[in-house]
Amino acid sequence: MATKREPERFTISIGPQHPALKEPGSFQFTVDGEIVTKAYVRLGYAHRGIEKAAEQRNWIQDLYLLERVCGICSHIHATAYCLAVEQLAHVEAPARAQAIRVLVAELERIHSHFLWIGVSAHEAGFETLFMYSWRDRETVMDLLEGLTGNRVNYSANILGGVKCDINNEQTTAILDGISFLEERARHYFDVLTNDAMFLQRTRGIATMSRTQAEVMGAIGPTARASNVARDVRVESPYAAYKQYPVKMALDTRGDLEARFVVRVNELFESFRIIREILATLPETELAARFPRRVPAGEVVMRVEAPRGELYYFIKSNGSDKPERLKVRTPTICNMTSVIKLAVGHQLADVPMILAGIDPCFSCNDRTVQLKDAGNQASTMLMWEELRLHGIQYYQGLNK
């Protein structure tokens, strides 16, 4: 690596490849000793052109494509898409299907939050917590596998309903599983709020005031840790959240510890909702008939992913394919807060601040910016030019 040592500027670049990042993203931190004085982020390394790809596939194929936007919160993407398309087609999924959607979504939230506890403990250098929380996460992965047949991309949804039903055995398994997880979550809550060494790394670090959170557009647990009462499940209940209302987990402190507290409290809320759903699962069909073509129209759908608000915009022109599909994932909204909050903190705190928003780079990359390595000039290419560029590039490779 080339060194850049100027009299007063010492820039550390974290990424695109770096042990702290599980996915590619580029961060430049200008440091004065150990203190970060300037931070810069560049995203787009994991851009996969999913939106464009969605326009080329029909409504049913898109379901499976969009489930792969994120490897962790895959179900919530499919749910958002299904709800939106159902709204366009004026089809309503039966009550049992909606309840199962919520059930899987909450199991997914548990899986995501356990994963996150591990990742942030790892960033802080607390490997034991990392190993233990990931071991416990296996329980919920097994439950999801038992329910849907898959550990990661569950494919529980179909347009107009869900694919999988729940029988008595599965109900017992889920109840047993979440009892175990609840006990573990209590233990982690104890560790995260009482372990003096861990608190040195979280308490009072990266404190974001309520105003700051609102100005920077933070969402999800990150915002709720700064006492911003925003949760799509509460403000506009979708699927079966009307029948199973959610109590929002809030914290006033806004530091990293508060984010841990909020997320663990959300776990408890998820356990409660799952128990409630299993106790009062409505007896209806699993899916409604769904047409192949969807009437022309536009729809906006917001759902609460484990990381925050997930936003879908879909435009249909009456054919069997969407005309335009736009996805905005929570990470992109929270990224501003990382860059702002990192300044003034120690370099050692940066991985924790970044992990604090639970980033997911490959989800948020909706665009890619090409920069000339020499003069750093960036160019914007339209679709046709990009296509041409691609063809020329690969022809050049073949020569």
Partner 1 sequence: MNGILAFVALLVFPGGLFLLAGGLAYEWVDRKLLALLQNRVGPRWFQPLADTIKLLAKEEIIPDKANKLLFIGLPFIALAGGLTAALYVPMAGIKPAYGFPGDLIVTLYLLSLLTLCMGLAGTNTLDRFSMIGATRTLTQVFSYEAPFLLALLVPAVTAGSWQIGTIATYAQSHWLILVQPVGFVVALIGLMGKLEMPPFDAPEAHTEISAGALTEYSGRGLAFFQLAKAVELIVGLTLVAAIYLGGVSNPLWFLAKTLALLLALAGIQSLLTRLRIDQTVGLWWRYGTILVLLQWLVLILLKRM
Q: Is 11 in the site for partner 1 (CB under 8 A)?
A: yes
Number of residues that bind partner 1 (CB under 8 A): 36
> 101: Cβ–Cβ under 8 A, 6 or more apart, which residues?
75, 79, 82, 93, 156, 157, 162, 239, 240
**Candidate residues 56, 172, 179, 200; the one interacting with partner 1 per rule CB under 8 A:** 200
Neighbouring CB atoms inside 10 A of 202's CB total 23
Q: Is 18 in the site for partner 1 (CB under 8 A)?
A: yes
Distances (CA, A) of 283 to 22, 102, 151, 270, 278: 42, 15, 26, 22, 12
Q: For partner 1, what does the binding mask look like between residues 93 and 122, x meaning CB under 8 A?
A: ----------------------------xx
Closer CB to partner 1, 231 or 349, in the complex:
349
Distance CA 146, CA 138 (A): 12
Sheet holding 26-32, edge to edge: 5-6, 9-14, 26-32, 35-42
**Candidate residues 254, 351, 356, 359; the one interacting with partner 1 per rule CB under 8 A:** 351
**Is the N-terminal amide bond of 282 cis, ω within 30° of 0?**
no
Residue 57 CB, shortest distance to partner 1, in Å, is: 38
Phi-psi region of 53 (alpha: psi -120 to 50; beta: other; left: phi over 0): alpha
Neighbouring CB atoms inside 10 A of 94's CB total 18
**Candidate residues 167, 169, 197, 374; the one interacting with partner 1 per rule CB under 8 A:** 197
33-52 residues in contact with partner 1 (CB under 8 A) are: 33-34
Q: Is 311 in the site for partner 1 (CB under 8 A)?
A: no
**DSSP per position, 101-134:** HHHHHHHHHHHHHHHHHHHHHHHTT-HHHHHHHH
Residue 163 CB, shortest distance to partner 1, in Å, is: 34
Piece of the chain touching partner 1 by CB under 8 A; list 192-200, 237-245, 251-259, 289-297: 192-200
Closer CB to partner 1, 126 or 244, in the complex:
126
Q: Is 150 in the site for partner 1 (CB under 8 A)?
A: no
Token pair belonging to 159: 């347009």
Q: Is 10 in the site for partner 1 (CB under 8 A)?
A: yes
User: Which residues bind to partner 1, rule: CB under 8 A?
Assistant: 1, 3-5, 10-13, 18-20, 31, 33-34, 121-128, 131-132, 135, 195, 197-198, 200-201, 346-351
